[in-house]
Structures are given as C-alpha cells and as structure tokens.
Amino acid sequence: MKPQNIRICFNNTVKALFISALLLFNTNLFAEDLEVTGNITQLGNDWLVVQGYTFYVNQNTELRGPNGSIVQFSFFQLNDLVQVKGNSRGDGTYLATRVKWEDVPNNSNEIELTGYVSSKGTNSFDINGTTFLVDANTVFRGRRGNPFSFDMIQVGMLLEVKALLQSNGDFLATRVKAEDDNHQHGNEMEVTGLIESKSTNSIIIGQWEFFVNSQTVILDRNNLLIAFSQLNVGDRVEVKAFKQPDNTFLAVRIKLEDNPQSQIEIKAKIENINGNDITVGGILFNTDTNTVFLDHNRMPTTISFFTVGMLVEVKGVKGQDGSHYALRVKMEDFINNEVEVRGTITELNNSSLQVAGITFDVDSSTKVFDHQNNPISYSSLQAGQLVEVKGVRTSSTSVKAIRIKLENNEDIEIFGRITAINSDNIELNGLTIFVNTNTLFLNHANQPISFSDLSVDNFVEVKMIRLPNSILLALRIKIEDSNNFSKINGIAGTVSGNSIQLPSGVYSINAQTIIVDLNFNFITASQLSSGQPVIVWSATDASSNKTALQIRLLASTPTNVGEQPITINNYVLNQNYPNPFNPTTTISFSIPENQQVTLKVFNSIGEEVATLVNSNLSKGSYQVQFDGAGLSSGLYLYRLESGSQILVRKMMLLK
C-alpha cells in the first residue's frame, strides 16, 4: 500500500505535560545487586544488554531520559549510553530497577570540560583559557563522595566542569567535580623489584623506601590479602605508591610478583565484556574484586565504566591451566590500531614470533633492541626470552611487529609531572632521570617524538632501569597528559575539514588528529557535521590556539531511510528523515488495524510542542511532515500512540 501523506500545521502553543503515561517508577529501599554504565549492545521489546549483562524491564522499572525526564522503554536505542541498576533473577539475568539515559549534551550552549586549573579568582577559575563562573547553585562533588567546595580548588588541580554559555558570553558552571584523589595526580610511582631491606613500617627497593600504613593493600601471588609481616627480604614485589607532602613515598598496594615468564601486558581494544570477563587482543582475562581498574586519569574506577571498543592496557598473569587473570586494567585516552604485549616468546621462526598467544609477522623494517635499547639483530632472539612487542594490525587476523625489545626483570615505572628539563635528563617526583640516544620518546598518541618535544608540566610515564652506578636511565618516556590538555564534551557548531567549533572555541584539525565514532571505529572529518554531540581532546599552546588531538562522535552517523524501525506487534515507527533536520523532517509509521492514532512531539524536558496526528486512521502506512521553524535547536521526542501501543523515538533539530 502506498503511504498516505498527511500535512499538518501545528500550533506552537507549548503545553506543559509531564509524560507520566510513559512509565511507572518505584522507590528502592535497598541497594541493587548490580549497577553498570555502558552502551546498549543488544535491545529487545522488554530487555537490553549492557556490558554483557542482560536486564529485563517491567512496569516497575524506573526509566529516565534527558534531564531525568520520564520516558518509555521504546525511547532507548542501540548504542545509547545508559546507567542500569538491577537485581538478580537467579538465572544469570537481572531485573532492572532503573535505566537512565546518560547525559550527552543536547543543548548547543552546554559543555563538559575536563582539564587542569590554570588560575583562580574570587568566584571563578580558568582551565586552558576558558573561564568558569560559579554561583550559589553550582554543585561541587569530590571523588567517592568526598567533600569538595570552591575553596578547595587549587591551581594545577584536575577538574571536570559542566557549564552553560550565558547570553553575555560567560560560562556559568552548573557542576564542578574533582577528578583526582587529594590532588595526587602526577605523584605516582610503580616499581617492580626485590625487597632489599625491611623495617617495622617500610621496605626498601633499589634506592627508594616505601612506607606502609593501615590502608596499604598487600596481596600474595594469588591476589589474597596478607599481612605486612609476611613479606620477606628477597621477595620480588610490585609496589604502587604516592609521593607525600614530606617527600616520602606511601605504598597504597604491594603485591608479591609471579615468575616473570607467566606475566603478560597487552595494550589493545576491548573486544568483549561478559560479566567479570574482558577480552582484549583475543585474550580473555578473568577479573575479580582485587583487579585494579583505572580510568583515563589513572584514578580507580570499576569494570562497569569500560565498553567494547575502548583501548586499554591490561597487566595480568597466565595460570598453569592456560587461563589469564587481569591484575590491572587501565583506560587509554587515545585510540589507535596498535597492539603492544609483554611476555615470553613461545614460538620463533625467520618470519614471525608468538608472544602471549599473538603471532607477529616480522620483516626487514622490524626494529629489535636489547634491554637497554641498543639495536640487535632479530636472529639473536631466542624462545623463552621476555620481550615487549609493539605491532600494528594489518588485517583482522594479522599483526605486523614494528618494534621488539628484550625486557629486564627489574622494571621501574614512574608516572609524574616533569618539573625540570636539563640537557641530558628530566626531573619528576624528586628524581633525576637521564636520557641517551637510545631513549624512546612518545607523544600522547604513541607516535615517536624527540627529547625537545617534552615540556615542563607534561605528565609522563617513564620506564627506566637503575645502572650499576645507581643512575636512573630512561628507556621510554611517553606523554600521558599535560596541563595544556583538555577534554570537552559538547555539541559541534561549524565543522570543516580543518576545524570544529564548540561553545568553548574553535579547535583546529590536522593530519595527526584522531577521529572515531561512538564505537571507536576510525572515521574522517567529513563524517562530522554541525549539531552532533562530540568529545574533543585538545591542546592549547602559548598563543591560546587550540588543536584537536582526538574527536569522538557520540551519536550514530546521520540516519537515513534504511535505518531499522521500531516494530511492536506490527506497529511500526520509523526514524525521521532527514535527521538531524532543519527545519522540516518526515516521520513515517504503520498501524495494523483501523483505530484512533495520536502522534505528538515533546522537547527534552517533557513539554508537548506539537500534535501531528489525532484522529481515526485506517490500517496502513503514513507519512507526516514536521516543521520545527518556531523551535530552538535541541533533542526532541516523537511519540506514536495507537490502541494500547506506545512507541517513542528521538530526533535532533539543528539550526
């Protein structure tokens, strides 16, 4: 049957409507069994899958949309970012008590920016040239529920700020959240080595003394808690510590280390998350409550914040039964197609080697180094040696080795802020670390740079060794963050091949800018358009010029007629086309029988802005044109109600 065209001019009179008919909600008196945040990877009529967990919904499930508005389950779509709370049904699935659509800016004047405070005024603070005002309504949040206020903000502190652009051009902060624990970001040290001596409250490894207190977590080789008294001189341990105000190091975690031959480190994209299991680079890692999960800022988080497609670094061990256990999983900000592993060579021939179950192809361009970064020949490698391999995927099944390096068992890894740069060394965390011609320097995207590209206030991860004369020699220095880096979440304005505009300014796009879609697949700048929600990682130079280091599109690419429609009991509501639109778009739907039909449009806070259809219709398919000329840019919902069926979809008006 040919679709019937209905052209309806609507009244712009705004009718306040609380969409209570879309759902019912209940108040939970007790904590739920499970809480996860992630993208919807599968979606049914009454169920959804997030982070590998299956949640069912019923009439008591609380469903929340933009700005906390009440929505109906059909509002949610594949790839939506949601927070779900639920209780076990006893069969491996969960009954959702709450499904909440996570905030993605839908207001073109709203931004969410993460960066380091560069200055502070009486009622404002600056982050990389952007000034944020605060008032009595600004909400301040500390990590893990710790108290936080405007008075506690310091220069150099890492903050996440949600703000609205005012009519006079000022940014008013609606929420300010501390992103590091006790201003510790940049004072971190991680050392692996032998305990040389021990006192009642400290251990010495190399030239460092690490103190312990009642909060220090101490684990055995099986990740079970043990007492400090069970550590012995000569034990090989990994220590994570933070530098204290008195320049001493306090250990937050000490773990007895396994045989280096059983260790594995891999940096690759997450391929699957199923419960507490996470698959990275083709390797399934088990995790538990002792696994350390770190966010982009190296701060503790949980597995629920990880999603398929993310680039992560996993440090783990391989058990005698062949299974892998993750000791630490860390988010990586910048996406690439590289694979990095650290482990023993299990297979070796003239054209390939296998490490951690991954086969790397080698050729004349593959570079090979000894444990001090001196060049050696590929033929000198032997099976059983501990190596670090960096490769790039050439296909879904092949990885080409770019760099192979023999590893020393006594690793020293440190993360901190560079406080001084001299002719042949850098200073951070009170240490002087020397460099030589073999030191490898990498930028934020893992691309080679030179020593001269480092700057004071860069946050760097340094891998180094201690020479016999006690000098610290850097094998690798990688820029992880910088005071001039920011992360901005907002609605794109004007977009071209060489720049993208956000409320906080214009960010240039160059050949080094990484651009990915919602699922971390690489796309080009031509696939970005005005009005799309994006996250931009940027660097600001001394002249206040802003460069986009990475852009992530937070929405599916613009929809077309071929997009999958919502279908329930033969009722069909298609995605509007075009979408985004300005100012008109077409909405099509089908009904299986003759009955009363209403089609209404609501704004993001639940106010009705248009009634497009309100009449008895015959069985068949229909098209309705919606004209948003009198409305402002933003997210809108359109709801089809026919008989006992209610279907809801989202659309974006961009002007």
Tens digit of each residue's pLDDT (9 = 90 or more) over 265-323: 888 888 888 878 999 888 899 998 888 898 877 777 788 778 777 889 998 888 878 88
Residue 451 has pLDDT above 90, yes or no: yes
Four-CA torsion 285, 258, 187, 217, nearest 10 degrees: 90
Region of residue 379 (left: phi > 0; alpha: psi -120 to 50; beta: else)? alpha
Q: What is the mean pLDDT of residues 643-650?
A: 75
Q: Which helix (H) or strand (E) holds 403?
A: strand 399-406
Total residue length of the chain? 655
Which phi and psi angles does 260 have, rounded to 5°? -55, -25
Helix residue spans in 181-323 (DSSP H):
none
* Percent of the chain scoring above 70 in pLDDT: 87
CA angle 274, 275, 279 (to 5 degrees): 40
pLDDT reported for residue 410: 61
pLDDT reported for residue 186: 58
Q: What is the mean pLDDT of residues 157-167?
A: 88
pLDDT reported for residue 231: 96
pLDDT reported for residue 459: 87
Q: What is the pLDDT of residues 598-623, one digit of tens each?
A: 999 988 667 788 889 988 888 888 88
How far is it, in rounded angstroms, from Cα 298 to Cα 278?
Answer: 19
pLDDT reported for residue 289: 84
Q: What is the mean pLDDT of residues 161-169?
A: 88
Kindly indicate the confidence band of residue 31, based on its pLDDT and cuts at 50, 70 and 90.
very low
Pairing mode, strands 431-434 and 472-482? parallel
pLDDT reported for residue 407: 84
Residue 404 has pLDDT above 50, yes or no: yes
Q: What is the mean pLDDT of residues 504-519?
A: 88
How far is it, in rounded angstroms, from Cα 572 to Cα 622?
Answer: 10
pLDDT reported for residue 229: 95
pLDDT reported for residue 107: 60
Residue 211 has pLDDT above 80, yes or no: yes
How far is it, in rounded angstroms, from Cα 246 to Cα 328?
Answer: 28
Q: What is the pLDDT of residues 345-389, one digit of tens each?
A: 999 999 999 988 889 999 999 999 998 889 999 999 999 998 999
Four-CA torsion 614, 616, 622, 626, nearest 10 degrees: -10
Give me the sheet containing 608-617, strands edge to edge: 608-617, 595-603, 634-642, 645-653
Q: Which residue has the higher pLDDT, 42 or 326?
A: 326
Residue 518 has pLDDT above 80, yes or no: no
Partnered with residue 503 across adjacent β-strands are none
Region of residue 346 (left: phi > 0; alpha: psi -120 to 50; beta: else)? alpha
CB neighbour class for 123 (10 Å; exposed up to 12, middle 13-18, buried from 19)? exposed
Q: Which of 189-193, 369-373, 449-453 has the lowest mean pLDDT?
A: 189-193
CB neighbour class for 477 (10 Å; exposed up to 12, middle 13-18, buried from 19)? buried
Residue 24 has pLDDT above 50, yes or no: no
Cis before 578? omega within 30: yes
Residue 184 has pLDDT above 70, yes or no: no
User: Around Cβ 619, how many Cβ atoms within 10 Å?
Assistant: 12
SS3 of residue 384 by DSSP: coil
Model-level pTM?
0.62
Four-CA torsion 481, 486, 491, 493, nearest 10 degrees: -110
- 327 and 316 Cβ atoms separated by less than 8 Å: yes
pLDDT reported for residue 563: 41
Kindly indicate the confidence band of residue 32, based on its pLDDT and cuts at 50, 70 and 90.
low
Q: How far from 317 is each of 2, 261, 291, CA to CA, in Å?
A: 62, 9, 12
Q: How far from 208 is each of 193, 197, 228, 255, 623, CA to CA, in Å?
A: 11, 11, 17, 16, 73
E strands, 59-213, in order: 62-64, 81-88, 94-101, 110-120, 124-127, 130-133, 139-141, 158-165, 171-178, 187-194, 197-198, 202-205, 208-211
- 388 and 409 Cβ atoms separated by less than 8 Å: no
Kindly indicate the confidence band of residue 444, based on its pLDDT and cuts at 50, 70 and 90.
confident
Q: Which helix (H) or strand (E) holds 491?
A: strand 485-491
Residue 541 has pLDDT above 80, yes or no: yes
Hey, what domains does the chain have and what are their CATH numbers? Answer: 4-16+560-653 (2.60.40.2550), 20-101 (2.40.50), 110-178 (2.40.50.320), 187-256 (2.40.50.320), 412-482 (2.40.50.320), 485-553 (2.40.50.320)
* Percent of the chain scoring above 90 in pLDDT: 27
pLDDT reported for residue 424: 96
Kindly indicate the confidence band of residue 19, based on its pLDDT and cuts at 50, 70 and 90.
very low
Tokens representing 399 are 């990885």
Residue 565 has pLDDT above 70, yes or no: no
- Mean residue pLDDT of the chain comes to 82
pLDDT reported for residue 321: 83
Residue 26 has pLDDT above 60, yes or no: no
Residue 18 has pLDDT above 60, yes or no: no
Q: What is the pLDDT of residues 46-97, one digit of tens each?
A: 899 887 788 999 999 998 876 566 788 877 877 677 888 888 888 878 899 9
pLDDT reported for residue 11: 38
Residue 536 has pLDDT above 90, yes or no: yes
pLDDT reported for residue 144: 64
